[in-house]
Amino acid sequence: MAITWDTKITPIDITNNVASVQGTRTDSEDAENPRTYNVPRAVIDTPAQKLAVMDEIWAKHQAAMTEETVISNFVNALEVQANANLEARE
């Protein structure tokens, strides 16, 4: 499994170091479904500000993974219950 990130910076106001930042995560095991996270407007002048943008993208990724897990667990539990119910009728 290889994971790559591709970052795209779009300048908004170069004088004030403002840009839009987009991070796209691609997993080789699911390469057809990359995940993209956006910070639409960020000041990226100091090292701390640059790190804050990456922290925001990472937090969005973590939230998406958590949501995906919750949904998967919900669906799996219902499928197990449905299978058990239907198989008991056989």
**Where in the sequence is the domain holding 55, given as residue range(s)?**
3-88
Q: Which tens digit of pLDDT belongs to each residue from 12-43?
A: 999 999 999 999 999 999 899 999 999 999 99
Would you say 7 and 19 are in contact if contact means Cβ atoms under 8 Å apart? no
List the beta bridge partners of residue 27: 3
Query: Structure tokens of 24?
Result: 């796209």
pTM: 0.82
| 3-13 sheet: strands from edge to edge | 3-13, 18-27, 35-43
What is the sign of the dihedral through the CA atoms of 8, 6, 57 and 25?
positive
C-alpha to C-alpha distance for 15 and 11, rounded to whole angstroms: 10
pLDDT bracket for residue 45 (50, 70, 90)? very high
pLDDT bracket for residue 1 (50, 70, 90)? confident
What's the number of domains the chain is made of? Answer: 1
